[in-house]
Amino acid sequence: MTDQSNSPEPPKTLLERAESMFGMGGYKPAKVPNELKKPVNRRPKRATPKPKLNESEEAPVPIEAPQAELRAPPEPVYVDVKFSDKQHPLNRDCLSRYGLIQPEGQVTELLEEFRIVKRQVLQSVRKAQEKGNGALAQRVLICSPHPDEGKTYCAVNLALALAAEKDCEVLLVDADFAKPSVLRMLGLPKGPGFMDVLARDDVMVEDCVLATDIAGLHVLPAGNHTTSDSEYLASHRTAQVLDRLTRAAPRRIIIFDSPPALAASPAAELANHVGQAIMVVRADRTGQNALEDALTLLSACPDLKLLLNAAHFSPSGRRFGAYYGEEA
């Protein structure tokens, strides 16, 4: 083994050599006094004197500033539109010619049938209003898959039946712009109507409504036909006009007589603005495929109903109207 006892020591650092020469005795931290001297040329802060109170006085209670109450903005108040007071009498001969309900006539099988229909319509309106659907619930679309299935016939009869209600007002809108027939069936004069209101901002809808001699029944003509009927119906103007007609009149029911769903596109556009739609189908003509396609086009409407027209058979054997004609 190698003897390492005489191996040279490692060289000292500069600090170690200075310590051995000057006898510094190791490094020690400087002493820090417990209390520091007070600063010079600084004035002490003066304490704010508290007011002296007499024996009969009490310390004042700090008053908190009142906080502003958060109030919801007031709801806007709408005023119902005012229709013209000029009455246009319905032509009773036209009503009879087209097989419509006679307002002053006897109770017939036709009237009783549409009384049942209107009860279903009014019940759906009330349920939709209770759910908060608002004015949308007051609008009813009458449609059919194909032409000549009786949609206008049913729309006019439903309007006549609803007008007999004691707390209901009806506005029948002819929305079949290409082939309007409501005015002809009722014997009313032609004039500006629904499409004119949608196409022109300066035409007010209430100025186009015709008041009839039937209490609670008003009619809005189709107006002048254009080549952009669907585009006008899809515009914001349509929603504004319909909102103007229903927002301040919760008892007003609007009945739309629309074009056939499979023959013209306005029916699908109107389905976006109504709370329920009634699809009129003929028992002897409408096919299942056509019915399914028409219902698909109206799928934007939340409530779809079917009305079977031209049915001559009743499984229960019911026959309305004869009961009232029997003598006592």
Tell me the percentage of the chain whose pLDDT exceeds 90. 58
Q: Which of 114-118, 160-164, 306-310 has the lowest mean pLDDT?
A: 306-310
The pLDDT of residue 305 is above 60: yes
pLDDT at 327: 43
pLDDT at 177: 94
- Residue 283 dihedral angles phi and psi, to the nearest 5°: -65, -25
pLDDT band at 50 (very low <50, low <70, confident <90, very high): low
pLDDT at 34: 73
Query: What is the Cα–Cα distance from 21 to 130, expressed in whole angstroms?
Result: 105
The pLDDT of residue 24 is above 60: no
Task: Give the residue from 225, 158, 221, 155 showing the smallest Cα distance to 188.
Answer: 221
pLDDT at 132: 83
Three-class DSSP category at 60:
coil
For 257, the enclosing helix (H) or strand (E) is strand 252-257
Provide the residue ranges of all domains of the chain, joining segments of one domain with +: 87-312
pLDDT band at 182 (very low <50, low <70, confident <90, very high): very high
pLDDT at 253: 96
Query: What is the Cα–Cα distance from 138 to 252, expressed in whole angstroms?
Result: 7
Q: Which residues of 131-148 are buried (b: 16+ CB within 10 A; e: fewer)?
A: eebebbbbbbbbbbbbee
- Which whole number is the average pLDDT over 310-320? 63
pLDDT band at 209 (very low <50, low <70, confident <90, very high): very high
pLDDT at 310: 81
CATH code that applies to domain 87-312: 3.40.50.300
- Residue 322 dihedral angles phi and psi, to the nearest 5°: -65, -30
pLDDT band at 285 (very low <50, low <70, confident <90, very high): confident
Average pLDDT, the chain: 84
